[in-house]
Structure 1
């Protein structure tokens, strides 16, 4: 079987570390890199297979959500006093209750 040559570029420090690791593994640099790449590809393939069902479920849910009609915009007048309080508390959690800046939607 004919071999294909692939050229890569890397920093001298990386090249030296690879050479050292290959030597410790008793391999030449080409064999070491092929081994490392092959292991990485096997790991990626296994992860993709393991998560393929959940990825498909997520894609289906996203497609379903994209097909839903957009809800009507909610204004402050549509909220109860309790809902307004909950929004203020949530904004305070995000921006900090003691911040000097105004809250979104509030006058300065």
Structure 2
């Protein structure tokens, strides 16, 4: 099988760590990196396969939502006070606001 050369750039510390790990594994650096990349690709493929149905369902839901008319304001007027509070509480959780309306650490807007 014909081989193809791929060149990578990394800092000295990363290169040295890779050399050390390759040596401990009894491999040269090229074989070690190919092995590591192959494992990562297999893991990514397995994850994508595992979640393919979920990803497809999300894509369908997003397409359906995009095709729906924007009637949020009219619908909001039809909510009961309790429903309004429930929606506000759910949105606060999504947006990372705590009970007093302040942002919780680690949540982006």
Alignment root-mean-square deviation, CA: 2.9
The answer for unaligned runs of 5 or more in structure 2 is: 93-97, 103-109
Moved over 3 A (4+): 78-83, 89-92
Structure 2 equivalent of residue 26 of structure 1 = 26
**Normalised by the size of structure 1, how large is the TM-score?**
0.72
Alignment of 1:13-52 (within 5 A): 13-52=13-52
Aligned residues: 94
Provide TM-score, normalisation by structure 2.
0.72
Deviation at 1:86, TM superposition (A): 3.3
Distance 1:94 1:67 in 2: 35
Post-superposition offset of 1:82:
3.9
Q: Which structure has the bigger radius of gyration?
A: 1
